[in-house]
């Protein structure tokens, strides 16, 4: 395994972590959007806020981690991607601003109307960001990013069948993951009506996501045949199968109300498909224009990346463990409060 492979492994780790943790955040926004009227939706929205608050800042750092490794270890690929796919990436960035701000502000809303406006901004951007990021990945995977400064098309590089499906699957996966997590959180908080509500949502989202993923594969066959062929053979096929089984397993576990375990299988499902995709692309980083070997930085840089990340993990893993332990032990929760209650006089 070369240093370049290790760095790719970091990118894989980052994308997976962001897809699992960050998309659960985005998915929470999806449920916020569809929670219903103020009174009914208030309880759902309250749980959304409660389950996200202590850890959401930490989640988005994975995105930055991916960007940094990419621009350090594969700088030509980074520059090509960001110049060709400037539109979805710019929109994703704007969405991230809106989302973060709206969420932080929502806790301070004093009237229902304010909360709904902020909530709408938060929820809408929570849906758009994963779509654009998914579309970006779709653009890269389907070979629409050539090497060079904005050498690809401004629109069709991300508005094409593969990209759109990838974006959709990203949104749905987030919704699915979020529902699973919040069902578990509701259980921990002993709020049975919310457990039921999120369980129903998780089941529904799981089915829709599975269907969308299958459709996505079919679309891929027509749009990016070589990627489809790689994805449906050998190791990659096994990853696709693992992902499918993980999804089905998650649905089954949610059905039988075993939410803790469901989180694990959900994470496995996401991780497997990310791994499958990256391996299917090999040896390319920008199929079919740029191989990993061509794109990689010098040995000194790759070594520096590995050392830097290793040092970082030494500090971060215990810190993150500490944080998650405190969160899961319930030692950092703030008081649960349905989002409409605070408006009562």
| Shortest Å, Cβ 123 to another protein | 16
Q: Does 235 help bind another protein (rule: CB under 8 A)?
A: no
Q: From the list 37, 111, 256, 315, which residue makes contact with another protein (rule: CB under 8 A)? A: 315
Question: Could you tell me the CA-to-CA distances from 159 to 76, 138, 206 in Å, in that order?
Answer: 23, 9, 25
**What percent of the chain is helix, strand and coil (3-state, nearest 5)?**
80, 0, 20
> With respect to another protein, which residue has the nearer C-beta, 53 or 226?
53
Cβ neighbors of 136 (< 8 A, separation 6 or more) are: 81, 85, 88, 89, 92, 158, 163
Question: Could you tell me the CA-to-CA distances from 7 to 68, 134, 225 in Å, in that order?
Answer: 11, 21, 27
For residue 286, the cross-strand partners are 290
Q: Does 80 help bind another protein (rule: CB under 8 A)?
A: yes
Q: Does 200 help bind another protein (rule: CB under 8 A)?
A: no
Q: Does 320 help bind another protein (rule: CB under 8 A)?
A: yes
Q: Name the token pair of 73.
A: 């270890």
> With respect to another protein, which residue has the nearer C-beta, 20 or 96?
96
Q: Does 308 help bind another protein (rule: CB under 8 A)?
A: yes
Question: Cα separation of 282 and 277, whole Å?
Answer: 9
Q: Does 6 help bind another protein (rule: CB under 8 A)?
A: no
Count the neighbouring beta carbons within 10 Å of the beta carbon of residue 309.
20
> With respect to another protein, which residue has the nearer C-beta, 122 or 284?
122
Q: Which residues bind another protein (CB under 8 A)?
A: 53-55, 57-58, 60-61, 63-65, 67-69, 71-73, 75-76, 78-84, 86-87, 89-90, 92-94, 96-98, 100-102, 104-105, 108, 110, 147-151, 154, 297-298, 300-301, 304-305, 308-309, 311-312, 315-316, 319-320, 322-323, 326, 331-334
């Amino acid at each position: 395994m070369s240093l370049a492979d290790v760095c790719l492994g970091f990118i894989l780790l980052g994308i997976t972590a962001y897809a699992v943790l960050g998309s659960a955040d985005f998915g929470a926004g999806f449920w916020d959007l569809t929670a219903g009227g103020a009174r009914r939706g208030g309880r759902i929205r309250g749980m959304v806020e409660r389950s996200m608050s202590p850890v959401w800042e930490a989640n988005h750092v994975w995105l930055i981690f991916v960007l940094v490794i990419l621009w350090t270890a594969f700088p030509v690929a980074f520059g090509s991607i960001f110049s060709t796919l400037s539109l979805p990436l710019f929109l994703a960035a704007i969405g991230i601003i809106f989302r973060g701000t709206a969420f932080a502000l929502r806790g301070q809303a004093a009237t229902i109307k304010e909360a709904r406006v902020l909530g709408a901004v938060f929820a809408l951007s929570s849906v758009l960001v994963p779509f654009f990021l998914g579309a970006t990945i779709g653009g890269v995977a389907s070979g629409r990013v050539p090497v060079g400064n904005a050498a690809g098309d401004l629109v069709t590089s991300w508005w094409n069948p593969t990209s759109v499906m990838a974006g959709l699957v990203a949104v749905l996966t987030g919704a699915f993951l979020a529902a699973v997590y919040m069902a578990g959180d509701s259980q921990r908080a002993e709020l049975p009506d919310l457990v039921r509500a999120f369980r129903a949502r998780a089941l529904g989202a799981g089915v829709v996501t599975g269907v969308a993923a299958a459709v996505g594969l079919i679309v891929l066959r027509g749009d990016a045949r070589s990627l489809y062929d790689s994805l449906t053979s050998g190791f990659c096929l096994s990853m696709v199968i693992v992902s499918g089984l993980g999804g089905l397993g998650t649905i089954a576990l949610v059905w039988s109300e075993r939410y803790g375990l469901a989180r694990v299988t959900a994470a496995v499902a996401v991780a497997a498909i990310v791994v499958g995709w990256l391996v299917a692309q090999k040896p390319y980083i920008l199929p079919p224009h740029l191989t990993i070997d061509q794109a990689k930085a010098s040995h000194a840089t790759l070594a520096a990346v590995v050392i830097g990340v290793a040092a970082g993990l030494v500090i971060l893993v215990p810190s993150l463990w500490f944080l998650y332990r405190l969160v899961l032990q319930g030692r950092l929760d703030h008081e649960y409060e349905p989002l409409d209650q605070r408006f009562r006089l």
